[in-house]
Chain A
Amino acid sequence: MKRDFPQALHRLESWFAANGWQALDFQREVWRAYLDGESGLVHSATGSGKTLAAALGPLAEWMEEGQGETAPALRVLWITPMRALAGDTVLSIDRAVKGLGLPWTVGLRTGDTSSAERARQARKLPSVLVTTPESLSLMLSNGNAREKLSDLRLVVVDEWHELLGNKRGVMTELGIARLRAWNPALRTWGLSATLGNIDEALERLIPRIKPGSDPALTPVCPWSVPGLSPERRVVRGVSDKKVRMDTLIPPEVDKFPWAGHLGLVMLDHVIEAIESSRSTLVFTNVRSQAEIWYQGILEARPEWAGLIGLHHGSLDTDVRKWVENGLKEGKLKAVVATSSLDLGVDFSPVERVLQIGSPKGVARLLQRAGRSGHAPGQESRVTCVPSHALEFVEAAAARRAAMAGRIESRTPVDRPLDLLTQHLVTIAAGEGFDEEEMKAEVRSTCAFRDLSDAEWSWALDFVTRGGDALKAYPDYHKVVRDEDGRYRVKDAAIAKRHRMSIGTIVSDAAVNICYMRGKRLGNVEESFIARLSHGDNFIFAGQVLQFLRVENMTAYVKPGKPGSALIPRWDGGKCPLSSEVSDGIRELLELHVEGRENEPEMKAVARLLRLQNSWSKVPKRHEMLVEQTQTREGHHIFFYPFEGRQVHMGLSALLAYRISRAKAQTFGLAFTDYGFELISRDRYEMIPLMKAGLFSTDNLLEDMLASLNAAELSKRQFREIARVAGLVFQGYPGQPKTNRQVQATSGLIYEVFARWDPANPLLGQAEREVLERQLEFSRLSEGLRRMAKTPVLLRQTHKPSPFAFPIMVSRFREKLTSEKLADRVKRMQLEYDDASDVTPSQDGIQLDLL
């Protein structure tokens, strides 16, 4: 049913005009489509007006319906992946509400929301609520959620691309499915950066029914029946925003290192670049690099103290706020940042972005580029700053892919059963559910549309019986079936614990860092702390700290001794080269070999590539270079598939495993984004090995699982699954330890399942996640297939080639051995308590496990 809203739309336009703006075509398109009852997905560069495109439709609708002087209850639910963005979204919508003179209220609800505000919201929700997927889930776990959300018209999912590839995206899908079941006329709009798989992003958010699905779905999910499906569309936002991409090329490229990424070789050039712009954002890939560059710039330009800032996730909120405001107001000349500034409000004064080190992916580089050039008439500008020679090639490859529109996809998560069990408990804790209705609702999401009956039954049994139907535990009563046939959580303690765990599940839990005397310094990921032993030194927020112990999600530290200290590494640093960029690198190397290079970066490294060619060879696109050489370390075999570090980790283990099957052997493995090496005591002849099927894709899955110590990897992956499925409960800082007797590490739970319930689907899920997410198994098998059928250039070099050098010094190393555990123990040394002469040794013991 199409209606006209001339009056309301006119008011929107006048409000724009009053602010000296002009509504953009895509914004008008979204308003109209919303008013016509449609849903959709808007994709566009950051900061191009997507917020107002999505937020103003419901305001126009309300004005047109002429609904009076008091604020309506919740009409618009705005889901954002980052708490940091939520505050700015509220301000931006609130300004529009006030500007249009409407009585609407705009509120915020995240993990940080005060209890006073929560209480106010418990009485009446604001007209627009900005929240996170976790907070939506929490709302659904309350008994009165349906009533409170009854007048909801619109769900907006902001930065949908950030959620699409992970379980929080699935959590969002499940939450929206519930909202639609309550309110079939609900409209959904997604806002996203440009992606390689924008159609899939749309389908995930606003799914259509699977052809041939059970017609019994109809009463539950009318929106998903053909004909009743919502109209939906993809709206392309501002597309002609100019992005200029280039690379800092120093005159003395020949002296450039082949490896190492922490060096400040380009410092002078970076300073020059900063000087030439009004305001510059300097992005690094990891936090440690950000600290190093910030210090380096300050040392070179002490007069810039107070004019440059540092921004990363471990810094105190106040410091970050100060930096953000400084950027907004144009007071800062430059800010060195990590992915903590990838998203967020616009900083109009920023004219230029510098990317230190590998850009890794096209989407990431474009996202960062989009942080600059917001002033009217300006273009976005990003400049890559290579930190070693091959990064020149990488920068050129990323630019070419961006220009050609080859942007990475985000692969959504398929059927995560851990999240399904969590969602079932969430809804059971809320208004409860009927089995058939809930099954249909879950299957109405894209993530679970292929959920089998067996999987569904397992999940329901898991939360109701504690195991499959054959094993019923009388003491287990998490979710119970009531007399009326609905499933509910009856035990208040279980419901409370479940609600508390919803918020902490998906990302790696953050551990507070505190001095023994109590001063809090910030937080780090639990996985980093898990690697530390009592007495280890590490660098945090520019200081050396000594780790003492962990208690209640708090790591206690004291000032450490400078020297060899660990630096926390974060996910950003682990991100591997995307296949779009690696494909571009192979293409550029071929152009070089054929003498057809015309990118400035390729000219800069031409002499270095010629050196590689004279020692060994530069491979063409469909060639596979393998080098063998000998050093004091042993015999090295180098392979260069250019498939990214994760794939190389898998491939190196696979090849080492296949070679060592014939004869027990220990291999050292090392890998980078470009290639990998195997080091061994013995020399191997490659040609017979290849003839015997070294690169074969037969039995690939079995060999892969056998080679990688898959159990160890799955156990690590199980951490997240155990948290999501409610198998571990961690408690919170400062919270009484009431749950101590039911605390165990996810590793321990994994072992119990692996031994006594090996067929548990959650273990299968861990293995699948390891393969798909950590090892990029499909990319790995594709790479292997390519290796098997492309010509191999086998070269014996008298010393490691320029390509080999970065791999040899890589910090990513592993060992693959077929020795017995007892034999390994016999070679090893016990770690003693030599460090602490003051502390008795038992003081350092972590007692959390007991």
Chain B
Amino acid sequence: MTECSVAGEKLVLLAERVAYWPAKGALFVADFHLGKAASFRSAGIPLPSGTTTENVERLGRAIDKTGANRVVFLGDFLHSAQGRAASTFARFGAWRESRRSLELTIVRGNHDKKAGDPPEAWGVRCIEAGEALGPFILNHEPGASRGGYALAGHIHPAVRLSASGEKSLRLPCFWFGARYGVLPAFGAFTGNAEVLPRRGDQVFVIAEQEVLQVA
């Protein structure tokens, strides 16, 4: 766990690919992509099972480590309409049942808009981007927002690190700029895309079990 200061607030960054805000007991999770493997299967691409189980176990671990009482999904909680497979939903539903007191919020992202909201029984509050939470604006797509410091996901950020004469490394990252911050994609079956931070940005990479500040 690595601490940092964003918009005057303390955030704790975890190698589980989540950011924790101790002041409100809130865990921020971007790009969960529930049902992604299932939607590949329904298109005839045979992927092994295990990604959903890993996702909920890792999320559970992050909650236990931090003692968070609420989780805010910063968009793309569900992957697609084809991914609403019974077994996948049963797995997440059972996990939700075991953590009934947890408050769950989903900021609807571009994928959620096509995939639809999760089942009512899960008791999740679904909101549009732009809602404020303390100094933060809860978003999905990166960009500056009026009225606060925006938190987003969507681009699955990674950065490239290099040293002369060595093979460079590409690692998923947390990327906090002057007006908005972008979280790494949480989902076990999500890729990433390289971004080029600017000088002055705070960047933390996930190197196996550690979160390391590189800028």
User: Contact at B82–A831, with CB atoms within 8 Å?
Assistant: no
Contacts A/B (CB < 8 Å), 18 sampled: A466-B46, A467-B48, A473-B38, A476-B41, A478-B44, A729-B45, A741-B80, A756-B50, A824-B163, A825-B161, A825-B205, A826-B212, A828-B161, A833-B197, A846-B193, A848-B193, A849-B192, A849-B193
Contact A475 B41 (CB under 8 A): yes
Given A821-B207, A825-B161, A752:B47 Cβ within 8 A = yes
Note all chain B residues with C-beta closer than 8 A to A467: 46, 48-49
Q: Nearest Cβ distance between residue A797 and chain B, in whole angstroms? A: 23
B108, chain A: closest CB distance, angstroms: 15
A471: chain B residues within 8 A (beta carbon):
48-49
For B42, list chain A residues within 8 Å (CB): 475-476
The answer, yes or no, to whether B86 is at the interface (CB within 8 Å) is yes
- Residue contact A831 to B162, C-beta cutoff 8 Å: yes
Is there a chain B Cβ closer than 8 Å to A760's Cβ? Answer: yes
Q: Is A739 an interface residue when CB atoms closer than 8 A count as contact?
A: yes
B215 interfacial by beta-carbon distance below 8 Å: yes
Q: Are A815 and B165 in contact (CB under 8 A)?
A: yes
Residue of A nearest to B182 (CB): A842
B193 engages A830 (CB within 8 Å): no
What 0/1 readout, one digit per residue, does chain A (493-536) give for beta carbons within 8 Å of chain B?
11001100000000000000000000000000000000001110
Contact status A830-B191, CB under 8 Å: no
For A549, give the chain B residue with the smallest CB separation.
B193
Decide yes or no: A727 and B45 within 8 Å by CB, A474-B86, A825-B169, A850-B154 being known contacts.
yes
Binding stretch for chain B, among A184-192, A657-665, A743-751: A743-751
Tell whether, in the assembled complex, residue A825 and residue B212 are in contact, meaning their CB atoms are under 8 Å apart: yes
B137 within 8 A of A: no
Contact A841 B196 (CB under 8 A): yes
Q: A831 contacts B160, CB within 8 Å?
A: yes
* Chain B interface residues (CB < 8 Å from chain A): 37-51, 54, 76, 79-80, 82-83, 85-87, 110-111, 114, 142, 154-156, 159-163, 165-169, 171, 188-199, 203, 205, 207-208, 210, 212, 214-215
Is the CB–CB distance between A533 and B194 below 8 Å? yes
Q: Decide if the interface of chain B is mainly helix, strand, loop or mixed.
A: loop
A3 touches B (CB below 8 Å): no
Contact residue among A747, A760, A826, A841 (Cβ-Cβ distance under 8 Å from B198) = A841
Contact between chains at B196 and A814 (CB < 8 Å) = no
CB distance from A429 to the nearest CB of B (A): 11
Total interface residues on A, using CB and 8 Å? 64
| Residues in B whose Cβ lies below 8 Å from that of A834 | 199
Pairwise interchain contact B197-A841, C-beta atoms closer than 8 A: yes
A842 touches B142 (CB 8 A): yes
Given contacts A815-B166, A849-B156, A850-B156, contact A741 B79 (CB under 8 A): yes
Does A207 sit at the interface, judged by CB under 8 A? no
Chain B residue nearest to A477 in the complex (CB): B44
Interface residues of A in 450-474 (CB under 8 A from B): 462-463, 465-467, 471, 473-474
Q: Is the CB of A814 within 8 A of B205?
A: no
| Chain A residues positioned under 8 Å from B169 (CB to CB) | 821, 824-825, 828
Residues of B contacting A21 with CB < 8 Å? none
A831 touches B161 (CB 8 A): yes
Partner of B45, one of A742, A747, A846: A742
A466 to B40, CA, bound (A): 10
Measured CB to CB, the closest approach of chain A to B55, in angstroms, equals 12
B44 contacts A494, C-beta separation under 8 Å = yes
Cβ contact within 8 Å between A831 and B49: no
7 closest A-B pairs by beta carbon, nearest first, are A833-B196, A756-B50, A757-B48, A466-B46, A478-B44, A849-B191, A828-B161
Determine whether the beta carbon of B167 is less than 8 Å from that of A814.
Answer: yes
A410 to chain B, nearest CB (A): 32
A1 at the interface (CB under 8 A from B): no
**A230 sits at the interface (CB 8 A):** no
A497 & B44 in contact (Cβ 8 Å cutoff) = yes
Among the listed B87, B196, B205, which residue makes an inter-chain contact with A832, where contact means beta carbons less than 8 Å apart? B196
Distance between Cα atoms of A478 and B46 in the complex (Å): 9
Q: Decide if A18 is an interface residue (CB 8 Å cutoff).
A: no
Check if A739 sits within 8 Å of B43, measured CB to CB: yes
A446 to B19, CA, bound (A): 56
Report chain B residues within 8 Å CB of A831: 159-162, 168, 196
Contact across chains for B198 and A833 when beta carbons are under 8 A apart: yes
Residue of A nearest to B215 (CB): A830
Q: Is the CB of B46 within 8 A of A462?
A: yes
The answer to whether residues A756 and B192 also contact, given A473-B41, A821-B207, A828-B162 and a CB cut-off of 8 A, is no
- With CB as the reference atom, state the residue of chain B lying closest to A835: B196
Given A478-B44, A815-B167, A831-B196, is A822 in contact with B212 using a C-beta cutoff of 8 Å?
yes
Contact residues in A for B159 (Cβ distance below 8 Å):
830-831
B46 CB → nearest A CB, Å: 4
Give bound CA distance, A753 to B40, whole Å. Answer: 13
1/0 per residue, CB under 8 A from B, across A748-769: the answer is 1100110111001000000000
